[in-house]
Amino acid sequence: MTRLIRSMIAAAVLATSLGSAKAHPTLSDASALSLLPVAVSVAAPVMILSAGAALTVVAVEASAAGTVWVLERASDGVQASVTLAGGLSVAAGTAVVVTAFSTGWVLSAAGQAVAFIPNEIGRALLHNERVTR
Amino acid sequence: MAAAALAFGVTLAHAGRSCEPKLPTATNVQRAMTLAERTAASLNASGAQVVVLGRIGQDLSKYGQRYSHLGFAYRDGAVWRVAHKLNHCGRAHAAVYRQGLGEFFLDDLHRFEAGVVVLAPAVQARLLPVLQDNARLARLHTPAYSMVAYPWAETYQQSNQWAIETLAMSQEPAATTRERAQAWLKLQGYEPATLRLTAFTRLGARMTAANVAFDDHPNHKRFSDRIETVTVDSVFVWLQRSGLGAAPHVIH
């Protein structure tokens, strides 16, 4: 499986995590850190990321680059892998749906986003760098 | 699903009760990224190198405010980056980040709308090198954070306050300390927003959130329920009034 994943990894994408913090509800969120680390890495056949595709996360493995998910398309069993930076993970067996739009693909489970896979346009819009401690 | 939810929030999870990790919906990720894409297109078309960019993370209309947070967006080659200060999940400190427009809007927005003020060309020219320089971005940063920090004190520093103090530093070579930056802001006619917060509200906020404090405010203002702080709306009004920037425009 590791070799399969390695060979499938075509592109490194960034991974971020989408999390959001709200402060006291009666006051401004003057700034909540959004860890939406989305981003992720894809590997590929990217064509399985078509809009509306139903996929299953068949394996979740830690790797040096992050967490690797092996995705399998329900309709024909074709597999692809995605590497997510950071600790983001889902359980093997989770069913996800692909939503495609102009900046990439969102994988969601029960309507909740579990990963964002940016395309070239999306990658240009993402960057996460902490300047101060 | 439970595992996914956990993972999304894990980095910020130790923040306490005001930090509730929440998975975004697929729809909101799409809306945020689409707003980021439209903002990039609008900024490209503007010809500007540096703008002030506001987002609406929360409904602040009862305080007379539209935007909740701002950063400086600047052109970095073919892309735009945003320098801004972020509070860590309700904790009492914050840090400065450089992010993409995507991350800027992927923050569980109340409204998917951006406010943009194009700074005057001379202001842009002086601010741009600061935004590219981590040491200068950090120079006036104070980690101690209160969401309602008093604009004319140095005990705490909220994110919009960091931004305008850093703007001051970029425009006035002598403004090398927060005190001097604040003096420049006063000289330029900056006026903070006044929020009406009752004692009850103040007490509730102080007791439930680590990132809210009122002890830096002068007593005569605090005890008359007037809490002055740096809001995006007050900055937008000031930039236009002072000629440091243009009128705000909205991107949907």
Query: Which CATH number characterizes residue B213's domain?
Result: 3.90.1720.10
B203 pLDDT above the threshold of 90: no
Cα B141 to Cα B77, B189, B215: the distances in Å are 26, 22, 19
Contacts of B1 in chain A (CB under 8 A): 90-91, 94, 109-110, 112
Contact yes or no for B97 and A16 at CB 8 A: no
Rounded CA separation B127/B136 (Å)? 10
Residue B83's pLDDT is what? 98
Contact yes or no for A31 and B158 at CB 8 A: yes
Query: Which residues does A45 contact at the CB level (< 8 Å), separation at least 6?
Result: A78, A80
Helix axes B178-187, B159-171, angle to 10 degrees: 80
The mean per-residue pLDDT over the stretch A70-95 comes to: 82
Rounded CA separation B34/A102 (Å)? 7
Contact yes or no for A124 and B40 at CB 8 A: yes
Q: Is A55 on the interface with B (CB under 8 A)?
A: no
Number of domains forming the structure of chain B? 1
pLDDT tens digit string along B87-141?
A: 876 788 899 999 999 999 988 899 999 999 999 999 999 999 999 999 999 999 9
B155 pLDDT above the threshold of 60: yes
Q: Is A31 on the interface with B (CB under 8 A)?
A: yes
Q: Is the pTM of this model over 0.90?
A: no
CA atoms within 13 A on the CB side of B16: 13
Contact yes or no for B147 and A110 at CB 8 A: no
pLDDT tens digit string along A16-57?
A: 332 333 333 333 343 333 444 354 556 655 667 788 889 999
Q: What is the ipTM of this complex?
A: 0.88
Rounded CA separation A81/A98 (Å)? 14
State which residue of chain A sits closest to B76, comparing Cα positions: A124
Rounded CA separation B4/A92 (Å)? 11
Contact yes or no for A89 and B34 at CB 8 A: no
Q: Is B202 on the interface with A (CB under 8 A)?
A: no
Contact yes or no for B205 and A27 at CB 8 A: yes
Locate tokens 């981003």: which residue? Answer: A39
Residue B179's pLDDT is what? 98
